[in-house]
Each structure stands twice: as C-alpha cells, then as structure tokens.
Amino acid sequence: MYQNLSVPQPIVTVRNLSVMRGEYLAVDNVSFELLPGTHTAIIGPNGAGKSTLIKSILGLVEARSGEIKLFNTGKQLKRLKPEIGYIPQKFPFERTFPLTVSELVGLGLNSKQWWYSSKGQRERIYQALEQVHLTKQAPQKIGTLSGGELKRVLLAYCLVVPRRLLVLDEALAGVDATGEMEFAALLDNLKQEHNWTILEVSHDLDLVSRYCDSVICMNRRLLYQGSPQTTLTPENLLHIYGSLISPTCHHHEPSRRTESF
C-alpha cells in the first residue's frame, strides 16, 4: 500500500483529542493519523464515542482539547470543507419532501444557482448517479427510495464534486444485508477510482476485515490501532465488546466468517 519512497503526508492528524457531550467525556485523549488513499474503520461498542469523534473532526461538535489537522495544512476547516464528503448515520426526512434524486445530488455541487443548472452540471449529476447505478431513479422523489438506494444517492452527492476525504457515520445502519454488500463493494471500487481517503464508523466486522486497511478500536479512549489482521483478534474483541461475538457482526460469505478472527 505504501509503495512511495517518500513518506506520505497524513490526510487527517488527530492529536490528544478530548470531546465532551454534556457532562460526559465521550472522547478521551485520542490520537491517530490517516494516510492518503487508506480506508479506516472506527469500531467499538455503543456509547464508545465513535460518532462524536468523527463529528468533532467534521466541526459538528466542538472539541474540549486537542488538535485536528486536515490535509496537512494549517488552513481552517471552513476552507477545506468542499473537499470532504459526509454520509450521516441518520437521514430523517418526511417522505413527501418535494425533492428529486437528481436535485439532491445537485445540492452537492458548489453552485448557488443550481436550479439554472447548465448542461455541464446536469452531466456531472448524471455521471455521479451512473457511478452508483441509479440513473433511472433520477426523476423520482427521494421519499420513494429504499434505505440502500438513499445511501447510494448520498454517495452520488459526495461524488458530484472531487473529494479527498470521505467520512461515513454508520452509513449502512438500517440497510439490509444485500444492500450492505452492494454498497461496500461500490464504495471500495469508487475509492480505488477516485483515490479517496475513507474514515468510517462501522459495526460490521466482516466488511471491515474485507475492505479496510486499518482499524481504530475505541471505547472513549483509543484501545487498539492497526491492520484488521492485527487488531481484530479474539483477545482484542473480548476486551472491546466484552464478548467474542459482536452483536452486529454479519456474515456475508461463509469463508469469511468472523469466528476465524
């Protein structure tokens, strides 16, 4: 993976980060780096501070202390936001919300007058939907989509402009097993194609071991960090979850069963 002779500069550097949620210390002195082109999963039990950690990186939650550096520059997060794609865990909206799939994808464009969309902009929206195999759904209302389709539309929203970092907060929550597999494979293909750096919160250890280059195990504090092979060991899982079998561990192929960890 790291064939370059020169040392690659990290895309994300987190140093001694602590974040409060009310009176509760949700993230306690966490440090890590993400290298360009890598796919990293954050795992841990419920309430471990995983979502809080990525929300803090994205500027959605204020950090109590510590440092977050993006794209190895001293620039403010505000200036770097166009290069970050984000798919939230929850995306609640009323099914009658008057917005079509192509309009939602168009909102990802850095244009303020998108409804006058030029031919070029329409083409970019179409290409983004083509990459997630949803061109037929372009004129549909977003309320008519299934959970898996909606997540793919949000992926197209991220694709419509070039991104360097993609952050996913349990993006597959509420999606069925088939939808999960399709999304994970699609994400992996797009990552290779666009050389994205991906940071995601995941509960699916099978998909993590299959597609991720590195894993961050946390329970408010950083517990383990490294490749899936070295971090997802039975001893570590026992320590992280208090049990060998994670309650959200799906088995997508018999040959990749997580009992083999």
Among 71, 86, 211, 241, binds other proteins (CB under 8 A): 86
Among 163, 105, 95, 109, which residue's Cα sits nearest to residue 137? 105
| Site track 28-67 with other proteins (rule: CB under 8 A), x = hit | ---------------------------x--xxx-------
Q: How far is the CB of 28 from other proteins (least distance, A)?
A: 23
Give 27-31 contacts, CB < 8 A, sequence gap 24+.
27/52, 27/53, 27/56, 27/218, 27/220, 28/220, 28/221, 29/66, 29/221, 29/222, 30/66, 30/218, 30/221, 30/222, 31/66, 31/222
Among 20, 33, 64, 91, binds other proteins (CB under 8 A): 91
| Site track 107-146 with other proteins (rule: CB under 8 A), x = hit | xxx-xxxxx-----------------------x-x-----
The arrangement of strands across the sheet holding 214-219 comes to 84-87, 165-169, 197-201, 39-43, 214-219, 221-226
Residue 236: CB atoms within 10 Å: 18
Q: How far is the CB of 84 from other proteins (least distance, A)?
A: 6
Q: How far apart are CA 212 and CA 205, in angstroms?
A: 10
Residue 103 near other proteins by CB under 8 A? yes
**Interactions with other proteins, residue window 203-242 (CB under 8 A):** none
Q: How far is the CB of 98 from other proteins (least distance, A)?
A: 4
DSSP state for residue 242 in the 8-state scheme: S
Nearer to other proteins, 141 or 221 (CB): 141
Provide the token pair at 246: 């994670």
Residues lying near other proteins in the complex (CB under 8 A): 55, 58-60, 78, 81-82, 84, 86, 88, 91, 93-94, 96-100, 103-104, 106-109, 111-115, 139, 141, 157
